[in-house]
Structure 1
Amino acid sequence: MQILNQKNCVLCAIPAKQDLCEPCYNHLPQLPLNHCPICLWPVPTAEICGACLIKPPAFTRTIAALRYTFPVDAMIHALKYQTDLAIAPILANFFITRFKATEKRIPDVIIPMPLHPIRLRERGFNQAMEISRYISKHMRIVLLPDSCQRIKHTPPQTGLAWKDRQKNIRKAFSCSINLSGKHVALIDDVMTTGATLNELAKILRKQGAAEISNWVIARTLPEINQIGSHRL
């Protein structure tokens, strides 16, 4: 007898009740238990890390669903570069599950990380927007899709040192909406150094945002034996 609505796990392809089978879901790469609440960098005491104390970023906190390593990196790559839009709600659900398990405070609005028009034409869609739409709908939070623009077309941040990333992304965004007193959730797929998120957060602060939470699917972190100093 054929089972109706039978799914296959998107990672291992075995029959599954959900998008991922239970073994694959249980082995997704998790963040370290103790980490900086602002940038998620691993710290032994789960307190604010030295870098965020010395130079506080414009954002208030960061919440990530998972760590950016296999297979999460492959799923995000499939969404961004292989136009596998079916991956977007799966990634969004990873975040929603994490948020509901650990957080209570709901932001006022969601702003997706904007793409420059040239990059948007090349890709055909904005992955942050696709993820944001799903989260907005299922968490019933107002989505502001066109409130911010990327006005500077920059080379990809991948492979750049943190200082070069900051310089590369400087003055890349504009925002026209009044955010006075608002708690904003800024959504992106991956946080690496945080330079891009921080640059947009600076603009949101100028527009009056009182609180800015980074909501990302995955946070890039080094292996445990490689953890040292870092900068945003």
Structure 2
Amino acid sequence: MRGSPLVCQPKNHGKVNVWSRIVQRWLPPRVCALCGAADCLPGLGLCAGCRDELPWLDHACPLCALPLPANGTCGACQRRPPPYRRLTAAFHYEPPIAELIHGLKFHGVISHARLLGELMAERLAETMEARPRLIVPVPLHRQRLHRRGYNQALELARHLARRLDVPLDYRCCRRVVATAPQSELTAQARRRNVRNAFLARRRAGLEHVAVVDDVVTTGHTVAAVARSLRAAGARQLEVWVCARVLPPGTAQGPATVGRPGQL
């Protein structure tokens, strides 16, 4: 079980070493990512105790994943539906999931993508109504990609594509505007920030596309990606994210602790 706080690698502002990234991406971990126990569940990177403490997101709006007391579409999505038909978030954005995502996104802990991707695949296997024809990660602008050295959404998408046997295309949608980080902006500014920031090209497989990102807060980024894909001919769109971040001032619903099969 989880007995100590998650320890991330030292912050790395440059590119993650290529060989280290390959090893972290594909080799199964030997110890639990949260408590360091050696008795990991096969291929997962978590011990059974830590896995059972994860904050799974149970009842939520199917269009924005806002936590709700019971399943149903929230009022905001009824008034203004997003440009995709479904958004699936595996978790609440709270410890220890928040720590794992932070380590992946800002500290170069690529191995967390394998763990989070496996957990997302478990949830999607239960909730997915039809298998998409294509997985598209939310792209980074080339300037930010150069600074970070990798795209955390692509790292998650790689594992989802492998686990769910769905083709992956990280080139069909590009971020053509170097936008400010969404985390630094208000909700209204976030919408303006990503307007026309993405450009998608036509290709086969756009009949049903799953857009992948690490977290969703206001949903403006994934909505902008979805609009660009729709303009390129996509007909059926859904969004897969690891965790739902609540906008400021929103009450936090209770997380469901336990295995997804128990929900």
TM exceeds 0.5?
A: yes
Equivalents in 2 of 1:77, 1:59: separation in Å? 26
The Cα offsets for residues 159-189 of structure 1, whole Å up to 9 and x where unpaired, read as 3221110011111000112468611000001
Show the 5 A alignment for 1:80-95.
Answer: 80-95=105-120
Is contact 1:180-1:210 (8 Å) kept? no
- 1:13 alignment partner in structure 2: 36
The Cα offsets for residues 187-225 of structure 1, whole Å up to 9 and x where unpaired, read as 001111101000111111112211111011111136998
Letter in 2 for 1:53: Q
Letter in 2 for 1:195: H
Equivalents in 2 of 1:42, 1:6: separation in Å? 32
Q: What root-mean-square deviation, in Å, do the aligned CA atoms of Structure 1 and Structure 2 show?
A: 2.2
Is contact 1:189-1:216 (8 Å) kept? yes
- 1:30 alignment partner in structure 2: 56
Letter in 1 for 2:84: F
Equivalents in 1 of 2:46, 2:29: separation in Å? 12
**Distance change (3 Å), C-alpha of 1:6 and 1:87:** closer
Dislocated runs of 4+, deviation >6 Å: 222-225
**Distance change (3 Å), C-alpha of 1:225 and 1:37:** closer
Is contact 1:40-1:62 (8 Å) kept? yes
- 1:136 alignment partner in structure 2: 161
The Cα offsets for residues 97-144 of structure 1, whole Å up to 9 and x where unpaired, read as 111123241111000110000000000011111111111122111111
> Normalised by the size of structure 2, how large is the TM-score?
0.79
SS in 2 for 1:214: strand
Q: Which runs of 5+ in 1 are unaligned?
A: none
Equivalents in 2 of 1:103, 1:221: separation in Å? 23
Equivalents in 1 of 2:237, 2:29: separation in Å? 40
Q: Which runs of 5+ in 2 are unaligned?
A: 1-27, 254-263
- 2:242 alignment partner in structure 1: 217
**Distance change (3 Å), C-alpha of 1:179 and 1:207:** farther
> Are 1:67 and 2:95 an aligned pair?
no
Letter in 1 for 2:196: K
Task: Figure out how many residues of one structure are paired with residues of the other and give that number.
Answer: 223
> Normalised by the size of structure 1, how large is the TM-score?
0.89
Is contact 2:216-2:245 (8 Å) kept? yes
Show the 5 A alignment for 1:32-181.
Answer: 33-178=58-203
